[in-house]
Amino acid sequence: MWIMFTKNRYESEELRILKALNKRMDLPDKEKQYFSNLQKGFEGELMFDGYLQRIVIQSYILNDLLFEHNHSHFQIDSLMISQYLTYLFEVKNFEGEYYFDGDTFKKINGNEVKNPLLQLERNVSLLRQFFISIGFKTPIEAYLVFVNPDFTLYQAPLNSRIILPTNLNRFIHQMNNQKSTLNIQHSRLSEKLLSSHLTKSPFTKILPYEYAQLRKGVFCHSCGTVMEEYHGREIICKSCAVKENTKNAMLSCVKEFNVLYPQEKLSTNIIYEWCGGLFPKKTIRQVMKENFIISGYGQWSYYE
């Protein structure tokens, strides 16, 4: 097996912020739906990553790419570089029944949604132009991939490069039957793509939030209830009886705070308040000393 994931997939900043906010405030319906779509999309991409990990031919795989060309930004879910081709994958985690009506894409109830084939065509065009601008002329083969097993598509356009859930295993098998030997040019292309990737997305839109309006506490990862029973090394949810390690729960809360307030200094008092006073300050200091570096002295000390 010779496959290299040169750029792994992580939750976007937007998704991480919305996930933290969803616990600590009542998101407006529009933001809640947007968060749900982001979460579902990420889960679908991870699902597709599982299939790509079964590729055995020589290839570079880069996930979650963001480029700009001629003042146009475009995102790529997955890119695979093989000997003769660069494969572009647009991944969708749609559920339910859909159909194509000419150039429009609709749910079975007739509601029109954004046509993913048009999105794919746009990305291919921009990627082709981008390749030329950085000195590479590799052919691009693009696919629209539907990963959800509960997805059904009717009236798919002929000759369109659509991979349905029932075709995924066969597609991976066909890929593995090809021959691919990579050289220094493929490596240079991969490196150039990585260096051109934009880390800050212009599409990110987060609703404003204030510290005072956010709920404080440690939230059960199983049922979402605020956990109130502290028993030294573990905490217990009264609602569903789930037990969680104290250290892990505290560090998870600290991570959330860092996501929402990356510029704020972490102090014992801040963590105590953020966790709803569940953990004794002595325990907070002990856990933070083990996992962070202390700066400053006395009441002005903080962790980084």
Neighbours of 300 (CB within 10 A): 9
pLDDT of residue 139: 96
Alpha-helical runs (H) found in 177-245: 184-196
- Return averaged pLDDT per consecutive 10 residues of the chain, 304 residues in all: 74 94 94 95 96 94 95 96 96 97 93 95 96 94 98 88 96 95 94 93 87 94 89 91 93 95 92 95 93 81 84
Q: pTM (2 decimals)? A: 0.90
Residues 268-294 as b/e (b if ≥16 CB within 10 A, e otherwise) read: bebbbebbbebbeeebbbebbeeeeee
pLDDT of residue 149: 97
User: In the structure encoding, which two tokens stand for residue 188, read together?
Assistant: 């240079």
Rounded Cα distance, 38 and 11, in Å: 9
User: In the structure encoding, which two tokens stand for residue 183, read together?
Assistant: 């050289």
